[in-house]
Chains A and B, each alone.
Chain A
């Protein structure tokens, strides 16, 4: 009789596909369906549900390569990179890099960046709501917690947009019309959107995402473009809804 931990390691290997379960099969009652067929019920569930989860997070990526190729690639990924924790909306962060390494995807050079955009969309949608800014100190300008940057030499936002209808039509767009720098975030109506940014604005936004104060973000932006003017960009950010504005009620709460 194996110790429980050894048994679980053996079953874990068989379920993820990184072992054949041979060591644990003798521990499983072999009647009716055989032990291997019984263990396969769990392995099938693992594989199918996680491939489905990736397909739901990366729908445009799947359309670019076709369902069969996508599921075969996802199948390999779920074997090589199992989830590390049970919150499944957080599974798939490594999938774009995995796709980039596949030789077969070399003919679709923008594939991994489209996947990175889809991962950013997923992460932005599930990001926590912000705590209202308690301070009206302008040096503490904060972006919404959903905000993240996607940078690509390809026009991946146009590729994504072209695949929102029934027919994905790449002929109508210039995939090579990049580079694009996208600030992706959740809109006030809970849809996810993005704005295309020039280089200096990207450096500025990256600073804010990393928690830099305004002066530091400005320094970074001016390193990219000495003539960078923050005022119109901050106004555009506020219009986009990606900035957490001080909540006047919150301020009164503190005064009381």
Chain B
């Protein structure tokens, strides 16, 4: 197989780490590029924090936050940002990421990644919140495109254009979730290829891959990003396009509901490596031709 030259060392795909796999991972030491965990699962301390500490000596760790609520009009929770900062300090992760979404209003945490209207008001607010988070954490964070199930009438900016401007204003990085692009474009319209072309390639530092489910809403098909199945064929195809566009970004397999045996997860990660090699060798072939 042809290898591609790259300024950065190649990092094999990573997997989402979940507690039931801990003993097997420690015993079998799989050769994955990195392990990603949901930051909120490690903020309380105790046995989970000790597990993460044990893993971090052997694998680079990606802390993926789901609760910072960067799109909250009320601003960030100082208490939650502080807990994240303590975890980042303790873990010294390779990557820290969060979402272009909101989940807190008033006293309520809504336990979901809710969509924002893409407006100048939202852009100003998210930029402030991202800047504040980066200041406190003392590092760049990656912002992930969410899977969305609705679109606002008054959204005036495209999602990739919104993210591009966020990068320009805050110097944040991007986490491109290929499955989320596919799901969102199917649910609210949009062209996945155009999406990939519209974000600044040099800002993309991670790619997510996952499966989704097909559901029914009002008798119409709606795709739900549930991380509960293998990556489906059209998402693999879109992944190859993403790899050609963002060749330096490491890939992560997210599969955390209906958690499969570790071997299945590792096979998905190996498949991501093969699809990446194939995508990049086709690029070289095209250049040579």
Contacts and interface: CB of A to CB of B under 8 A. Distances in A.
A212 B82 CA distance: 29
B201 interface: no
Contacts of A4: 73, 116-117, 119, 121-122, 125
Contacts of B103: 86
Interface string B171-187: 00000000000000001
B44 interface: yes
B48 interface: yes
B8 to A, nearest CB: 33
A15 to B, nearest CB: 5
Interface in A27-43: 27-29, 32-35, 37-42
A86 B77 CA distance: 10
Interface in B99-129: 102-112, 114, 116-117, 119, 121-122, 125
Contacts of B43: 87
A37 B77 contact: no
B111 A28 contact: no
B152 A129 contact: no
Q: Which residue among B44, B80, B151, B224 has the maximum number of chain A CB atoms within 10 Å of its CB?
A: B44
- Chain A interface size range: 35 or more
B83 interface: yes
B50 interface: yes
Contact of B220 (A32, A42, A129): A32
Interface of A: 1, 3-5, 7-9, 11-12, 15-16, 26-29, 32-35, 37-42, 45-46, 49-50, 82-90, 125-129, 146, 186, 190
Given A1-B117, A5-B74, A126-B44, 11 more contacts: A7-B152, A38-B217, A41-B217, A49-B111, A82-B108, A85-B77, A86-B69, A86-B80, A86-B104, A87-B43, A128-B45
Closest 6 CB pairs of A and B: A86-B67, A128-B45, A33-B217, A5-B73, A38-B150, A12-B105
